[in-house]
Chains A and B, each alone.
Chain A
Amino acid sequence: MELLLDSLFNGVAIGSVLLVAALGLAIVFGLMGVINLAHGELMMLGAYTTYVTQLIFKLPILKPFYNSYIIVSIFLAFIVSGVVGILLEKTIIRKLYGSPLETLLATWGVSLILQQFVRSVPLAYGTGLVISLIIGLFLPTTFPSKIKESINFKYFKFSSWIFAALTGVITSSVISSSISKISRASARNVDVTAPLWMRGQVEIIGTAFPKTRLMIIVITLISVIAITLFLNQSAWGMRIRAVTQNRQMSDCLGISTEKVDIITFGIGSGLAGVAGVAVSLLGSVGPNVGGNYIVGCFMVVVLGGVGNLLGTVLASFGIGIMTDLIGAGRLLSIWPDMPLPLSNTINFFATTSMARVMIFALIVIFLQFKPTGLFPQKGRMVEN
């Protein structure tokens, strides 16, 4: 029983990282038919945001609040990845609307650039750049509507970008002079240390659970609840669902599909950032950190079906629990005296990498019976 609980917990922990990472991917894929290969790199940005936030909270001014940095970094990571995602949508993905394979390739290009960017640009300057992007994109939207409608709005926009650039330069020089660790470029992995209250273990029903894993599960839970509420209760959520179901019709009915695309992509990317925070708690952070999770996320999306959050949730926990069951060879300990050939097979697959082999094979077999995932979209289209 204890063993089963342990296994279930491990599976849920693996699954919840997958879930928070795949959630954004699934929403964007459902809406735009775009698989974002740069999703892993957006996660990486979130992880690096956590690292930078941690360093900033070590500065004397913010030292008293150090313990809360992880909470702050969740929001910051959401904003940073979200803004980069919005920029990506505005500059590249919008041009490729209707050709998903080309989008796939373009986002791969973006992911290469982001990886190399982290390697060869100091994090301090990266922070400055991101801050100026945030200001430049959002400052014009805060102007009163009188200015927005005036003919000179483009000058206001332009001047706000200049202001943003200046702020970025100032912050980056301040950060690079006060935190020497990130003033030079480095391709080495960095480590995020959890605050004191998150270290150690908690005992529940006689079994010890590491606190960081529990924290990840909590983060995932909050993200899922928040996104479900947003999609089902808010006006924009309704618009997003409408566009997911039928883009042309929503467009005809006066929904601004352009805005819906931006918002969805921003939220999806932001969720990748939150996933990055979770990932940074599990191990060291490097330019390739996203690559370890991304294919699992793709599998979740393929398995879960399009445009259905429940499918995503079930698929990620399913994959998580199966990974743990196979990868740790738990079936053997649950059923110790199984016949020899069977136990040999299970031993053969009882490593992390071989468990992946098994899982993917199982997914391909599953898709033979349910080609459109667990919860296919209903409709009578021939094909779209």
Chain B
Amino acid sequence: MSLSKIKFDKKIVLSFWIILIALIIAAPTLLPVFRLNLLGRYLSLSIVALGVDLIWGYTGLLSLGQGIFFALGGYCAAMYLQITSSSEFPNNIPEFFALYGVEKLPFFWEPFRSPVFTFFAIWIIPALVAGLIGFLVFRNRIKGVYFSILTQASLLVFFNFFNGQQKLINGTNGLKTDVTQLFGQMVGSESMQRIFFWITATLVIAAWFFAKWVVKGRFGNILIGIRDDEPRVRFTGYNPVIFKTIIFSIAGGLAGISGALYTVQSGIVSPQFMTVPFSIEMVIWVAVGGRGTLLGAILGAVFINYAKSLVSEALPASWMFIQGGLFILVVTALPEGVLGWIQGDGPRNLLQRFGLKRKIETYPSLEVNSKGGE
């Protein structure tokens, strides 16, 4: 029995949404600038977590390389911002090029002069790259641990490439966005950050609905089928390669959007987004929140990152221990994650242990169904 199946009163749902929207609108006035910025960043991270939940929670593909698509989205946004604010620099190209003696804009920068192209590039380029990597891997029925390792290797490929190419994309220094201009305003300015926060919050909700729509119906059922028994799905006449490639590129596209939003709010995109630990962290947000629950991914991303910043401010050395412990704890003791535990039989079992709730005596699903009234 999952929470999503319980029918809430329409009034409750409506008032929940009204409160949520009111909170989002009011957040910039309630929170100090620093905290608002952090919240905005973590919300944008929750979009990439949604993608991880789609491919891992629903389809059973553990990707350790989501950082690639995250960073690609970030680079797309940053390249546009750099190039539109480069009019006062020599040769009308971004400032850093002068450091390496580059006078002509590299060819792949050209399309990013156009805002329309950038708008689409932010999610289409990561999705295409994800689709390509996914297709090459899935076509050969490489799966499970092999898939994880190969995604990690591709992550390192991209990291090394971006890290080494100073003359093309400023290498290890990354691209700064906070001093660039967008529509005549500084991207790093307070008013712009407020707008970015609102955009992020809206997009998180939109991405949530999108993900819910993706996993609903036959498509979602096939994904779950692939997760639970892929050979059987194949024998039933479906081609898992297509479905896996599609869902992997959807997750890539979500990661791209997330990366772009994160970049404009943190003020820089650099190859650091493509380090191995960061991509694995994304998985732990979903694991703690509850895989296969979508909402769990969002909550996990926001809360774990908030905890990380709070703990790191107080005791810098201890976060690694806590994070390591979280990884071990969540897979050994709480495999469904927090939200999965709440939605499942977790609270009931806990109450039973303390004798606060009567034990189920008949067949569990009958008992629950008669109470749920479905």
Residues of A within 8 A of B (CB): 29, 33-35, 92, 95-96, 99-106, 108-113, 115-116, 119-120, 291, 295, 298-299, 301-302, 351, 353-354, 356-357, 360-361, 363-364, 367-368, 371, 382-383
Which chain A residues lie closer than 8 Å to B320 at the CB level? 112-113, 115-116, 119
* A109-B323, A116-B317 given; 7 more Cβ-contact pairs under 8 Å: A100-B145, A105-B283, A105-B330, A106-B327, A353-B163, A360-B153, A367-B142
Q: Is the CB of B317 within 8 A of A120?
A: yes
B146 at interface (Cβ–Cβ under 8 A)?
A: yes
Q: Are B335 and A295 in touch, CB under 8 angstroms?
A: no
Q: A109-B323, A110-B328, A116-B324 are in contact. Are A298 and B149 (CB under 8 A)?
A: yes
CB contacts (< 8 Å) of A95 on chain B: these are 332
Q: Which residues in chain B, 146-169, are within 8 Å of chain A measured between CB atoms?
A: 146, 148-150, 152-154, 156-157, 160-161, 163-164
**Closest Cβ–Cβ distance, residue A296 to chain B (whole Å):** 9
Known: A35-B145, A295-B156, A354-B161. A109 touches B231 (CB 8 A): no
Task: Give A134 to B145 CA distance when docked, in angstroms.
Answer: 31
Contact indicator A109/B327 (Cβ below 8 Å): yes
In the complex, which of the residues A101, A351, A368 has the most CB atoms of chain B within 10 Å of its own CB atom? A101
Q: Which residues of B contact A100 (CB under 8 A)?
A: 144-145
Interface string of B321-341 (1 = CB under 8 A from A): 101111110111001000000
Residues in chain A near residue B230, CB distance under 8 A: 383
Task: Tell yes or no: B353 within 8 A of A by CB.
Answer: no
The answer, yes or no, to whether B359 is at the interface (CB within 8 Å) is no
- Give the 3 A-B residue pairs with the shortest CB-CB distance, closest first: A109-B327, A112-B324, A371-B140
What residues of chain B lie closer than 8 Å to A104, measured between beta carbons?
62, 145, 148
- Give how many B residues have a beta carbon under 8 Å from the other chain's beta carbons: 44
- CA separation between A113 and B319, bound complex, in Å? 10
Main secondary structure of the interface of A (DSSP, over half): helix
The answer to whether B280 touches A299, judged by C-beta atoms less than 8 angstroms apart, is no
Pick the most buried of B139, B163, B328: most chain A CB atoms within 10 A of its CB.
B328
Residues of B within 8 A of A (CB): 60, 62, 136-137, 139-142, 144-146, 148-150, 152-154, 156-157, 160-161, 163-164, 230-231, 276-277, 280, 283-284, 287, 317, 320-321, 323-328, 330-332, 335
**Do B327 and A105 touch across chains, with their CB atoms under 8 A apart?**
yes
Tell me which residues across on chain A come within 8 A of B137, comparing CB atoms. Answer: 364, 367
B91 to chain A, nearest CB (A): 24
CB neighbours (8 Å) of A354 from chain B are 160-161, 164
Known: A109-B324, A109-B325. Is A371-B141 also a contact (CB below 8 A)? yes
Measured CA separation A111–B320 after assembly (Å):
10
Residues of A within 8 A of B136 (CB): 364, 368
Contact partner of A357 among B140, B161, B284, B317, CB < 8 A?
Answer: B161
Question: Assuming the A-B contacts A102-B331, A299-B153, A364-B154, are A110 and B324 also in contact, with contact meaning beta carbons closer than 8 angstroms in the complex?
Answer: yes
Contact of B317 among A105, A119, A368 (CB under 8 A): A119
Q: Specify which of A360, A371, A382 is in contact with B157 (CB 8 Å cutoff).
A: A360
Q: Which of A108, A120, A383 contacts B327 (CB 8 A)?
A: A108
Given known A-B contacts A116-B317, A299-B153, A368-B136, A106 and B148 have beta carbons under 8 A apart: no
**In the complex, A364→B149 CA distance in Å?**
11
Q: Knowing A92-B332, A109-B325 touch, does A382 contact B164 (C-beta < 8 A)? A: no
Point out the residues of chain B lying under 8 angstroms from A102, CB to CB. 331, 335
B164 touches A351 (CB 8 A): yes
Cα A351 to Cα B140 in complex, Å, equals 31
Give CA–CA (A99, B161) in the complex, Å. 33
Q: Which of B62, B150, B276, B332 contacts A96 (CB 8 A)?
A: B332
B153 touches A295 (CB 8 A): yes
- Taken together as a complex, chains A and B put the C-alpha atoms of A251 and B141 apart, in Å, by 29
User: Shortest distance in angstroms between B147's beta carbon and chain A's nearest beta carbon?
Assistant: 9
Q: How far, in Å, is A352 (CB) from chain B's closest CB?
A: 9
Residue of A whose beta carbon sits closest to that of B165: A354
**Complex Cα distance A79/B146, Å?**
29
Q: A115-B320, A291-B276, A364-B150 are in contact. Are A106 and B331 (CB under 8 A)?
A: yes
Known interface pairs A92-B328, A100-B144, A371-B141; A105-B287 also in contact (CB < 8 Å): yes
Cβ–Cβ contact B326 & A298, under 8 A: no
A40 to chain B, nearest CB (A): 10
A304 to B271, CA, bound (A): 30
Chain A contacts of B144 at CB under 8 A?
Answer: 100-101
* Closest CB in chain A relative to B65 CB, distance in Å: 11
User: Which residues of chain A are within 8 angstroms of B231 by Cβ–Cβ distance?
Assistant: 382-383
* Cβ contact within 8 Å between A105 and B331: yes
Find chain B residues with CB under 8 A from A367 CB: 137, 140, 142, 150
Measured between beta carbons, the chain B residues less than 8 angstroms from A302 are 146, 149-150, 153
Task: For the complex, give the distance between the alpha carbons of A361 and B150 in Å.
Answer: 10
In the complex, chain B residues whose CB is within 8 Å of the CB of A382: 231
User: A95 CB to closest chain B CB, in angstroms?
Assistant: 5
Complex CA distance for A47 and B218, rounded to whole angstroms: 53
Q: Is the CB of B326 within 8 A of A109?
A: yes
Alpha-carbon separation in the docked complex, A382 to B149 (Å) = 22
Measured in the bound complex, the distance between the Cα atoms of B156 and A202 in whole Å is 36
State A383–B157 Cα separation when bound (angstroms): 29
B145 engages A356 (CB within 8 Å): no
Question: Which residue of chain B is the closest to A114 with respect to CB atoms?
Answer: B324
Chain A residues near B157 (CB, 8 Å)?
356-357, 360-361
Residues of A within 8 A of B148 (CB): 35, 101, 104
CB distance from B39 to the nearest CB of A (A): 25
Instruction: Tell me the minimal C-beta distance from A227 to chain B in angstroms.
Output: 22
| Cα of A100 to Cα of B145 in the assembled complex, Å | 7
What is the chain B residue whose CB lies nearest that of A101? Answer: B62
Interchain nearest-CB distance for B369 vs A (Å): 30
- On chain A, the residues within 8 Å of B156 by CB distance are 295, 356, 360
